[in-house]
Amino acid sequence: MSRSVEVTTAEQLAALPDDGQRYELVEGVLRMMPPAGGRHGRIAGKLYRRIAIHVEQHRLGETYAAETGFLLRRNPDTVRAPDAAFVSSARLGAYADYPGYLPLAPDLVAEVLSPSDRRSDADDKARDWLAAGVRVVLVVDPQRASITVHRPGIAASVLVDGLLDLRDVIPNFQLDVAEIFT
């Protein structure tokens, strides 16, 4: 991407030519996201698949795979793209077939850490999602085989085994933590 191009709005981000890179826009600042590695993709895929199958079978809303942009704030604009997301039917409303960045906060977001990701950046991103109205943020750490669960107003909890209970966000949905990493 040419350095002479200034991107500060969601519309400018959407108009960028495809250069093979992934980007997010955070408070009007463009951030490049390097491509994910194999382990990252495998784990993100497993998590997405398990959520998507349950959501589709029970007609609970929609699931979104990596690179789907959510417009969280304006002036300055913030467009984030999680590794996986769920939006309930109630929250989705008229945006079910929206062509642009979805102008809403998902109910659930999952971010899978890459080896180059800093933990502090992941925590900042989780706070950003929660501030936008996300009900639960999962930060999945393949290195430690753990999932950190962030919810508004509650201290984050770390799971390394057992069941991840998301029934308050995705009705009747629980997930065996170890299953995601094998």
Domain 36-181, what fold?
Answer: tt1808, chain A (3.90.1570)
For residue 116, what is the enclosing H or E element?
none
Name residue 154's amino acid. Answer: I
Q: What pLDDT, on the 0 to 100 scale, is given for residue 5?
A: 56
**Domain residue ranges in the chain:** 36-181
Q: What pLDDT, on the 0 to 100 scale, is given for residue 11?
A: 92
Distance CA 129, CA 136 (A): 9
SS3 content of the chain, % helix, strand, coil (to 5): 30, 30, 40
pLDDT in tens, 115-155: 878 888 888 899 999 999 999 999 999 999 999 999 999 99
Q: What is the pTM of this model?
A: 0.91
Q: What pLDDT, on the 0 to 100 scale, is given for residue 7?
A: 80
Positions of the chain with pLDDT under 50 = 1-4
Distance CA 172, CA 30 (A): 38
Name residue 146's amino acid. Answer: S
How high is the mean pLDDT of the chain?
91
For residue 160, what is the enclosing H or E element?
none
